Amino acid sequence: MKPLLPVALLLVLAGCASMDPTTEPVAPLEATQLGLQNASVSWPDTQWWRRYGDAQLDALVDEALANSPSMTSAQARLAQANAAVRGARAPLMPRVDANYSLSREHLPEKYIYQPPMAGSVVSDNRLALDFSYELDFWGKNRARLNAAISQRAAAEADTQAARNVLARAMVRSYLNLQNAFAQRQVLQRIVQQRIDVLQLTRDRQRAGLDTQVEVKQAESSVAAAKVDLTQTETNLAQLRNQVAALAGAGPVRGQSLQPVALSARAGVIPENVPLELLGHRPDITAARWRAEAAQRQIEAARAEFYPNINLVAFAGFQAIGTGNLLDAASRTAGIGPAITLPIFHGGELNANLAGRKADADVAVSDYNQTVLDAVHQTADAIDGLRLIDREIEQQHQAREAIDAAYELAVQRYRAGMGNYLTVLVAQTGVLTQTRLDTDVRFRAYQLDADLAYALGGGYAPAADTPADSSSH
């Protein structure tokens, strides 16, 4: 008999459904393909926003991370992934069920039964422990478990990615709010400047140096500045609400926020996009684990083409009638294999395998797009920060120049040596350059926050691979 076993196994395998020819899968991008290089990088801390020295901002980010629905959703998805791992591990373990069945049956007179059984009504009772265990020869269940473990690793990385997205959104919204506070202060000063010029114009009109035309122009200039101030107040109110919503609170929380002077930016700008970036981005890590999970699902789909072998056994009692069910003579037991050989499934197995391969191509393509987006974000932040200090200095010089021009125009106007048009042009320049000066200073903080996010927000995976199914 033993020499016949290999032959029988070959015949069984030959009888299995055949797989369609394979196609070339999508290849994941490598860091070297993108020109990434080794670089000295000061990777951000997990609480990188604290370097701005703003306790108000620190509290808001903490509230957002604790209260935001996006975080509770990410944590719920992680719980789902943990449950899926437990569910995928179950088929690798034996299964034992306690079963009791009772059926009443009328036995035919014209059959194998002899009197007094023939023609009588009897009850068939069975009380047993049923055992089953799938012998995972082809690794189908182990592949599914490894896929679930990879999905869990992806969910863990997704949780950190959600944290980074939320922290960055809060910091950016808060910076926009502080910029609006600063813009309001600028416009309040501009309104007062224009009121002073209006008063000067009225004095000149009474002295016969100007006409009612110049007075009306000055009044219009004041009104226009007040419109800008009102629009800024509206924007400020909306930003308060936005920050409060990100913190998971109502509008009252936004009303408590005050203008704050931020500490100097302390982030170190890398020379180029670092080679290690792919390991520091949680979104890339999550995409990589999803691609890994898709590969394991392909393995499981391939295993479906081979025989499914189960070991089944039972032990218990079975008897006609209930009176003697638990007697020693009613004991019953059995053990044996149950083999399912897939031969013809109408193309179902190949369709399933093709679907899993397509899923893998989608997952790898998503990974590649995530990598490209991350490299693009990082390069933009690095390039922006590399030039922002020069832009700040140039903008500061432009503002100082227009401030000096405005003061000179007002002095000449007061002395009767200039006209109102010169003052009006200078006023417009002061408003434009002062607002630009404020914007560029806060844009520098925005870029700093963008770089901290682009560099992973302090994320560092605990290990290159999650725990394998063999360790459980």
Q: Whole-structure pTM over 0.95, yes or no?
A: no
CA 322 – CA 103 distance, rounded (Å)? 11
Note the pLDDT tens digit of each residue in 420-435. 788 888 888 888 888 8
SS3 1: coil
By the 10 Å C-beta count (0-12 exposed, 13-18 middle, 19+ buried), 133 is classed as middle
Q: Which residues are paired to 338 by β-bridges?
A: 310
- The whole-angstrom separation of Cα 261 and Cα 56 is 11
Q: ∠169-175-176 over CA atoms, to 5°?
A: 90
pLDDT band at 373 (very low <50, low <70, confident <90, very high): very high
Residue 1: which pLDDT band, with cuts at 50, 70 and 90? Answer: very low
What confidence tier does 7 reach under pLDDT thresholds 50, 70, 90?
very low
| DSSP secondary structure code for residue 414 in this structure | H
Identify which of 88, 91, 92 has the alpha carbon closest to the alpha carbon of residue 80.
88
pLDDT in tens, 193-209: 889 889 988 988 998 88
Return d(Cα 66, Cα 182) in angstroms, integer. Answer: 29
| Among the ranges given (49-53, 66-70, 159-163, 409-413), the one the predictor scored with the smallest mean pLDDT | 409-413
Phi first, then psi: what are they for 96, rounded to 5°? -125, 130
For 342, the 3-state DSSP assignment is coil
| Count of beta carbons in the 10 Å neighbourhood of residue 247 | 24
If one compares 156 and 328, the residue with the highest pLDDT of the two is 156
Q: Which is nearest to 431 in space by CA: 457, 454, 464, 399?
A: 399
Helix (H/G/I), strand (E/B), else coil: 421: helix
444 phi, psi to nearest 5 deg:
-60, -40
Distance in Å from the first CA to the final CA of the chain: 37
pLDDT score of 472 more than 60: no
Q: H/E element holding 371?
A: helix 348-414
> What is the average per-residue pLDDT within 259-266?
81
- The residue-averaged pLDDT of 381-390 equals 90
Task: Identify the residue with better confidence: 15 or 432.
Answer: 432
DSSP state at residue 91 = G
Q: Judge whether residue 45 has pLDDT over 60.
A: yes
Q: Count CB neighbours of 390 within 10 A.
A: 9
Residue type, 336: G
- Comparing 268 with 144, which gets the higher pLDDT? 144
pLDDT of 320? 83
DSSP 446-458: HHHHHHHHHTTTT
Residue 204: predicted pLDDT: 85
Q: Return the CATH class of domain 18-94+137-306+348-455.
A: mainly alpha
pLDDT at 17: 58
pLDDT per position as a tens digit, 165-198: 999 999 999 999 999 999 999 999 999 988 988 9
User: Rounded to whole angstroms, how far apart are CA atoms 273 and 377?
Assistant: 10
Per-residue pLDDT for 464 more than 80? no
Give residue 212's pLDDT: 92
Q: For residue 332, give the 3-state DSSP assignment.
A: strand
pLDDT for 360 beyond 60: yes
The helix (run of H) or strand (run of E) holding residue 316 is: strand 308-320
Closest by CA position to 464, among listed 323, 279, 338, 287: 279
Do 450 and 175 contact (CB within 8 A), yes or no? no
Q: Are residues 117 and 107 in contact, defined by beta-carbon separation less than 8 angstroms?
A: yes
143-176 as b/e: b if 16+ CB within 10 A: bbbbbbbbbbbbbbbbbbbbbbbbbbbbbbbbbb
* Count, residues in the chain: 472
Quote the DSSP letter at residue 466: P
**Do the beta carbons of residue 422 and residue 412 sit within 8 Å?**
yes
Sheet of 95-106: strand order equals 95-106, 121-135, 308-320, 331-340
